[in-house]
Amino acid sequence: MIAVLQRVSEARVVIADQMVGQIAQGLLVLLCAERGDAEVQADKLLAKILKLRIFSDAAGKMNRSVQDLDGQGATGGLLIVSQFTLAADASGGNRPSFTGAAPPDVGRRLYDYFVAQARAVHPKVETGQFAADMQVHLINDGPVTIPLRAL
């Protein structure tokens, strides 16, 4: 699985002029299941995301995770958005190939699994909608953007 994390001060997903998910401070997680992925990759990736220390402490150092924000009185939200284009391969020309992405039924199953696991262990989880035409609005805090891959 591939994820691109963006540390945000706020983010939201809109579909057909309707807001479907919104967080304040936290992480926007763009998520892609690749061919061959299973629940084990989702579990590893989620564990890494929840513990990744990319939020500033009182001294301004990146020492806090999204989980640590709740102890500070803030809402450390996760906004999880499916994005199969993270598996794009443009090495063969100017039109990307997406054959590295999991088939849609597998991608949906792993996305739903990832979201369910996140909701089981984190208090604030919002989502986009799998396979929808979404507009993602965010204010990247820092900016901090980190790509991750679970093998």
In the chain, what are the domains? 2-149 (3.50.80.10)
pLDDT at 86: 97
Active-site residue, 130 included: no
Q: What pLDDT does 70 receive?
A: 61
Mean pLDDT of the chain: 94
- Tell me the whole-structure pTM to 2 decimals: 0.95
**pLDDT score recorded for residue 18:** 97
Helix (H) / strand (E) containing 86? none
Which of 95, 82, 93 is closest to 128 using CA atoms? 82
Measured CA to CA in angstroms, residue 109 lies from 16, 20, 33, 89 at distances of 24, 20, 9, 23
Q: Which of 25, 84, 114, 127 is catalytic?
A: 84
**Residue range 50-67: mean pLDDT, rounded:** 93
Q: Which of 6, 25, 83, 127 is catalytic?
A: 83
87 DSSP 8-state letter: G
85 C-beta neighbours (distance < 10 Å), count: 11
- Of the candidates 84, 78, 99, the one whose C-alpha atom is nearest the C-alpha of residue 130 is 84
Q: pLDDT (tens digit, 9 = 90+) per residue, 68-85?
A: 886 555 668 999 999 999
Query: Which residue is catalytic, options 85, 129, 135, 145?
Result: 85
Q: 89-124: per-residue pLDDT in tens? A: 999 999 999 999 999 999 999 999 999 999 999 999
Nearest to 30 by CA among 18, 13, 52, 10: 13
pLDDT of residue 74: 61
Cα distances from 5 to residues 23, 62, 143, in angstroms, run 14, 15, 11
Quick check: is 83 catalytic?
yes
Please tell me the predicted confidence (pLDDT) of residue 112.
98
Active site residue 98: no
pLDDT at res. 75: 60
3-state secondary structure (DSSP) of residue 26: strand
For the chain, percent helix, then strand, then coil, each to nearest 5? 25, 40, 35
Helix (H) or strand (E) holding 120: helix 104-121
Tokens of 102: 């999991």
For residues 3-27, give the mean pLDDT.
Answer: 97
pLDDT > 90? residue 128 = yes
**What pLDDT shows up at residue 151?**
78
Place of tokens 């696991």: 117
